[in-house]
């Protein structure tokens, strides 16, 4: 069957992890895939997760199917995390949530659902965006278009360009927005800018689809939800894809959620009916474990507090590594101002290193980063920061 078929290219991010694993270089450094590593280079299970898992193991009485939408406590806790306590959008019932296999699953379920009801729409993605956004929405059958986002010269947000692009988006099209910790650039909108974008979406009639994979890794759980709050306050339809891979360290449990917010409860009920119909024909109903862990942690006050503290520790360590990288490059006299790296948010930085340098760092030094110069700051630690700064300084000086 396969002898006339060319192999598919390796994935831009997971392919890099495979190459890293095979590399025998003892000083190799993985700054590629967006996975948190601690000061020892490990990706540990959070203590709050371990504690919740112990409770769940004792309590578990059955492995019966979950509902198509997943565990009800999980959905309620996802909404509390998205919108805050006692908010109108939750109490009115105009938000509906299903547990999906990871944030990617949420995007894809959303894509499949939208294709049914917006068959002629285009999906607008930021330039640049996470490589898999293209794959997910193309696979759902959508043509893609790009809106301006990142300003490579200023290493910041091209907000005027973004607004100009979004003004061209026709009513009915779908705009994919990174709610916080933009992947790959680390460049986010301010609350005021979010208000402008949300107002534009209402005015122009396009649908916002917020990808919210890093809640809590920017400035904190509440500060990071600004985009969601702004869109919720606007009262129009929008979608949110959540992920607990990063902020709970539940990478391999595939724990995500798709939330659809509608203008009223009656429409939300219709949205939920179609969400369930969509899920049923893809994976029927979600895997239980990750969702039950998140529900247990978030609904148990002591574990919730512990999670917030563990999340803050991850966030703070990443910020320390941003500062250490900027300081390390400056100390080595590398030309240019890299201070924009500390202004960026989340796991990633668009380092400003071009593809030729990224290639040299990988082949000569065993330092892996994603094409375009995206660095996962969480791959840096005290033990490797000097090596990485030396390598970048040496290659940039050539
Ligand atoms: C990343 O961007 O590295 C992560 O979101 C992992 C992934 O699925 O690509």
86 confidence band (pLDDT: 50, 70, 90): confident
| Best residue for ligand 1 mutational test, from 12, 13, 16, 249 (most atoms within 8 Å of Cβ) | 13
Q: Is the pLDDT assigned to residue 352 strictly greater than 90?
A: no
Q: What is the mean pLDDT of the chain?
A: 97
- Using a 10 angstrom Cβ sphere, with 0-12 exposed, 13-18 middle and 19 or more buried, the burial of residue 252 is exposed
**pLDDT tens profile 360-388:** 999 999 999 999 999 999 999 999 999 99
Ligand 1 binding pocket includes 13 (Cβ within 6 Å): yes
pLDDT for residue 369: 95
DSSP characters for 20-85? HHH---TT-EE--S-----TTS--PPPHHHHHHHHHHHHH----PPPPTT--HHHHHHHHHHHH-T
151 confidence band (pLDDT: 50, 70, 90): very high
CA of 30 to the centre of ligand 1 (A): 13
Q: Which atom of ligand 1 lies closest to the CA of 14? A: 9
Catalytic residues: 130, 211, 246
Closest C-alpha among 28, 43, 135, 33 to residue 347: 33
Token pair belonging to 323 = 């500062």
CA of 129 to the centre of ligand 1 (A): 11
**pLDDT tens profile 10-46:** 998 999 999 999 999 999 999 999 999 999 999 999 9
- Check if the beta carbon of residue 358 is closer than 8 Å to that of residue 373: yes
396 confidence band (pLDDT: 50, 70, 90): very high
pLDDT for residue 61: 96
Q: Is the pLDDT assigned to residue 337 strictly greater than 90?
A: no
Q: How far is CA 249 from CA 23, 36, 41, in A?
A: 25, 8, 14
Ligand 1 binding pocket includes 103 (Cβ within 6 Å): no
Closest C-alpha among 204, 129, 220 to residue 170: 204
Ligand 1 binding pocket includes 100 (Cβ within 6 Å): no
| Best residue for ligand 1 mutational test, from 107, 132, 256 (most atoms within 8 Å of Cβ) | 132
- Using a 10 angstrom Cβ sphere, with 0-12 exposed, 13-18 middle and 19 or more buried, the burial of residue 40 is exposed
pLDDT for residue 162: 98
Q: Is the pLDDT assigned to residue 101 strictly greater than 90?
A: yes
Q: Which residue minimizes the CA distance to atom 2 of ligand 1?
A: 34
| Contacts of residue 58, Cβ cutoff 8 Å, sequence gap at least 6 | none
Ligand 1 binding pocket includes 33 (Cβ within 6 Å): yes
Ligand 1 binding pocket includes 183 (Cβ within 6 Å): yes
Entry pTM: 0.97
Q: Tell me how crowded residue 331 is: count the other CB atoms within 10 A of its CB.
A: 11
**pLDDT tens profile 102-140:** 999 999 999 999 999 999 999 999 999 999 999 999 999
Ligand 1 binding pocket includes 79 (Cβ within 6 Å): no
Q: How far is CA 179 from CA 10, 168, 199, in A?
A: 28, 21, 16
Token pair belonging to 364 = 């000569």
Ligand 1 binding pocket includes 369 (Cβ within 6 Å): no
Ligand 1 binding pocket includes 367 (Cβ within 6 Å): no
CA of 118 to the centre of ligand 1 (A): 27
Virtual torsion, Cα 126, 130, 135, 139, nearest 10 deg: -60
CA of 81 to the centre of ligand 1 (A): 22
């Amino acid at each position: 069957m396969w002898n006339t078929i060319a192999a598919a290219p390796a994935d831009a991010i997971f392919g890099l992890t495979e190459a890293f694993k095979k590399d025998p270089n003892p000083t190799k450094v993985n700054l590629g895939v967006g996975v948190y590593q601690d000061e020892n280079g490990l990706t540990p299970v959070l203590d709050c997760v371990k504690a919740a898992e112990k409770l769940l193991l004792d309590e578990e009485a059955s492995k019966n199917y979950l509902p198509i939408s997943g565990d009800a406590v999980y959905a309620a806790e996802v909404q509390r995390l998205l919108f805050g306590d006692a908010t109108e959008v939750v109490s009115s019932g105009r938000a509906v949530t299903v547990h999906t296999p990871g944030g990617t699953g949420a995007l894809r379920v959303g894509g499949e659902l939208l294709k049914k009801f917006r068959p002629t729409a285009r999906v607008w993605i930021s330039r640049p965006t996470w490589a898999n956004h293209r794959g997910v929405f193309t696979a759902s059958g959508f043509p893609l278009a790009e809106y301006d986002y990142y300003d490579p010269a200023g290493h910041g947000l091209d907000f005027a360009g973004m607004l100009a692009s979004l003004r061209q988006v026709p009513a009915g099209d779908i705009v994919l927005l990174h709610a916080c910790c933009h992947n790959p650039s680390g460049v986010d909108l301010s609350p005021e800018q979010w208000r402008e974008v949300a107002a534009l979406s209402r005015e122009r009639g396009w649908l916002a689809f917020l990808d919210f994979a890093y809640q809590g890794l920017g400035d904190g759980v509440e500060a990071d939800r600004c985009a969601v709050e702004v869109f919720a306050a606007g009262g129009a339809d929008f979608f949110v894809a959540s992920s607990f891979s990063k902020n709970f360290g539940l990478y391999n449990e595939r724990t995500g959620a798709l939330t659809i917010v509608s203008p009223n409860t009656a429409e939300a009920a219709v949205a939920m009916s179609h969400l369930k119909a969509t899920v049923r024909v893809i994976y029927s109903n979600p895997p239980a474990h990750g969702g039950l862990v998140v529900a247990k942690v978030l609904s148990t006050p002591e574990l919730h507090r512990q999670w917030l503290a563990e999340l803050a520790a991850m966030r703070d360590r990443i910020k320390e590594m941003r500062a250490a990288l900027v300081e390390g490059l400056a100390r080595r006299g590398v030309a240019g101002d890299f201070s924009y790296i500390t202004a960026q948010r989340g796991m990633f930085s668009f380092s400003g290193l071009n593809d030729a340098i990224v290639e040299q760092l990988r082949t000569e030094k065993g330092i892996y980063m994603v094409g375009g110069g995206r660095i996962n700051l969480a791959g840096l630690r005290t033990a490797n920061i000097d090596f990485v700064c030396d390598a970048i300084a040496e290659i940039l000086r050539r």
